[in-house]
Chains A and B, each alone.
Chain A
């Protein structure tokens, strides 16, 4: 059981470039989430998904797009990266029950220059 995995672990982009972060979970969870964490801050929800084929906006969705084509995968895209998107990105998944806890991936450290 790998849990939640994220690729890549690190990435440096130039302003205006695009990239996709991949999150995969092997726990058959319905819910998946993308967060960003800026230095010294808590996590802020970017987008989330309550099931295959569905996505919804979180607190800070601007500049990001997501897709959930398969239940086990949740992709986060940056179409035109900006320095303000320099952050650590965490993916998480959880079951659909009211009580279920979230399981987090190890994070992707993204720097936009």
Chain B
């Protein structure tokens, strides 16, 4: 199975942009890149996903490298509520079924 590599932790000041990197050098052509975040004592929640093109939604932007071996989650203005563990995940397709491979995530600390 392909894997993802993320920094263990990052810090950001409130109201500044945050760029969370992820390496997935063994990604397959059909694997989608998903990002989830997990607030303390909660289940993960979906943030954004993409395949090849950059994506934007109300929560964040996802920038995907041209070779798809890395991606970056961008929070445009970090707030204290964005402090969480962010997981970069590959959604893999095998014989018509799908699996999500979680890494260990990046713990984001937002400073007031």
Number of B interface residues, CB 8 Å?
24
Residues of A within 8 A of B103 (CB): 42
Establish whether residues A56 and B97, one from each chain, have CB atoms under 8 Å apart when the complex forms: yes
Q: Knowing A42-B104, A98-B32 are in contact, say whether A103-B99 is a contact too (CB < 8 A).
A: no
**A contact residues, range:** 20 to 34
CB distance from B90 to the nearest CB of A (A): 12
Interface of A is mostly: strand
B32 near A104: Cβ-Cβ < 8 Å: no
Can you report 28 residue pairs joining A to B where beta carbons are below 8 Å apart? A31-B98, A42-B87, A42-B102, A42-B103, A42-B104, A42-B105, A43-B44, A43-B102, A44-B102, A50-B98, A58-B99, A90-B44, A92-B44, A94-B98, A98-B30, A98-B98, A101-B34, A101-B46, A102-B44, A102-B46, A102-B100, A103-B46, A104-B45, A106-B42, A106-B43, A107-B41, A107-B42, A107-B43
Which B residues are within 8 Å of any A CB, using their own CB? 30, 32, 34, 36, 41-46, 49, 51, 87, 91, 93, 97-105
8 closest Cβ pairs, A-B complex:
A104-B43, A101-B46, A42-B102, A43-B102, A42-B104, A50-B97, A90-B43, A104-B44
